[in-house]
Structure 1
Amino acid sequence: MRWRDWRARRRGGATRLTVGQWGGLAVFALLAVLVAVGVGPPRGDGPRVPVARVSQASTVFAALTVVPARPPHDSAYDRGAFGTAWTDASAAPGAGNGCDTRNDILARDLAVSGRVSIDSCPRAVSSGVLTSPYTGRSVVFERGRSSAAVQIDHVVPLAYAWDMGAKDWPRERRTAFANDPANLVAVDGGSNQAKSDAEPAVWMPPLDGFRCQYAVQFVTVLGEYGLPVDEPSRTVLGAAFELC
């Protein structure tokens, strides 16, 4: 639309916009919000997972213990049972490097454009852009009040792991699980909230093209930590492997 096509009506010296102008402004504002927070319909393709990795995960998948259903959620579950959130002091791969786990994953998954020193990390991410794997949309990250636009998701949710047997683990093993990079991915906040602690039978990434990668990660983590899978989720994961 050309600027000279915008017409305003004046009454008593005040500028009034036409219905069409208000509509145009509303659309512009909506698009700005969508770009900022990364919501909207999924788009694009997910990453191509190497054949060798799919093959390895398929072998693990076939060997998983299967239970008929996820047990009723244990009301005794507490996030604190998996250690201090994002602690750098764990037995997880990459731990003990001087940066908290959240900043390690942000640095791994974002196109980083700025760094800042904070108490938990001397080179914490201060700004960058994430292409959310769950939707394919770009999300702008700025440290501060809007930083929740990017969140770190546990591919195998902690509450699911707890219900499936992690409640019987030593605390140190649970802490390692909660901070294992293999089980973590930076995503848009909306997807993380929508997923919550759901298993694959209940929730899968909206972006079909990422479902192979998600299934591979989910199954690999289950196998690494000796966790079973519920039968409904096994069916969904099997379908996701067919997309690889």
Structure 2
Amino acid sequence: MVHLTSSIPFLLLATITTSSTIPLSKRAPPNIPSPAEALSLLSSITVAPQGPQDGYSRTLFPHWITIQGTCNTRETVLQRDGTNINAGSDCYPISGSWYSAYDGATWTKASDLDIDHMVPLSNAWKSGAADWTTEQRKTFANDLVNPQLIAVTDNVNQQKSDSGPEEWKPPLQSPRCNQRPTIANTPVCG
């Protein structure tokens, strides 16, 4: 059973209702459920108060692990979310372009992007990850299967920081952002 904070079901429902007629971007995170699937997931949620921040440290979520060869999670997301990506032998993108759904900016240097955990690691901690094993937290922090990781403008992601969807909204509220229905444990775009 999934236990989530009270703002997440509202966020999911709002995303579902505003997105049903908007086509998905070809560079969207993977496995975004249809509105019907998202509603089904929503019905399985048990709303619970957020737990404490006590004991949280970002280091408890091992992230940017090696995925394949020399490619880590960050580089894999940069390649997935970019267009015309050329990577060096170390897997780091040396050219390409990226669109940031949070602010509408297009970037041509990977160093101008952060990989955002749509559910901040601290928010996950307060929503139950404090009780997970290190392996479970590592899996969550490097999740390439669910729509959890997205390449976005670095300073916009830094403004978001550890804020959950109830506290932070992307500056761009365009259809490209609002059209991202997501599974119950990874809210996006407020």
Q: TM-score interval w.r.t. the shorter chain?
A: 0.7 to 0.9
Provide the C-alpha distance between the structure 1 equivalents of 2:83 and 2:149, rounded to a whole number of angstroms: 17
TM-score (norm 2): 0.73
Provide the C-alpha distance between the structure 2 equivalents of 1:163 and 1:207, rounded to a whole number of angstroms: 27
1:9 counterpart residue number = none
1:198 counterpart residue number = 163
2:89 counterpart SS class: strand
Note the C-alpha offset of 1:52: 6.4
> Contact between 1:151 and 1:188, CA under 8 Å: does it hold in 2?
yes
Report which structure shows greater RCO (CA 8 Å, sep ≥6): 2
Q: How does 1:95-134 map to 2 (within 5 A)?
A: 95-96=67-68, 98-118=70-90, 123-134=91-102
Partner letter of residue 153 of structure 1?
Answer: D
Q: How does 1:9-48 map to 2 (within 5 A)?
A: 48=23
1:204 counterpart SS class: coil
Partner letter of residue 93 of structure 2?
Answer: V
Identity %: 34
1:30 counterpart residue number = none
Note the C-alpha offset of 1:184: 0.4
2:130 counterpart SS class: helix
> Contact between 1:204 and 1:211, CA under 8 Å: does it hold in 2?
no
How many matched pairs? 159
Aligned-residue RMSD, C-alpha: 2.6
| Structure 2: stretches of 5+ with no match in the other structure | 1-21, 26-31
CA deviation map 1:112-157 (0-9, x unaligned): 3432112xxxx33112211101112212215xxxx1x111000111
Structure label with greater radius of gyration: 1
2:38 counterpart residue number = 57
Note the C-alpha offset of 1:166: 0.4
Provide the C-alpha distance between the structure 1 equivalents of 2:106 and 2:121, rounded to a whole number of angstroms: 26
| Structure 1: stretches of 5+ with no match in the other structure | 1-46, 89-94, 224-232
Choose from 171, 179, 182 the match for 1:212.
179
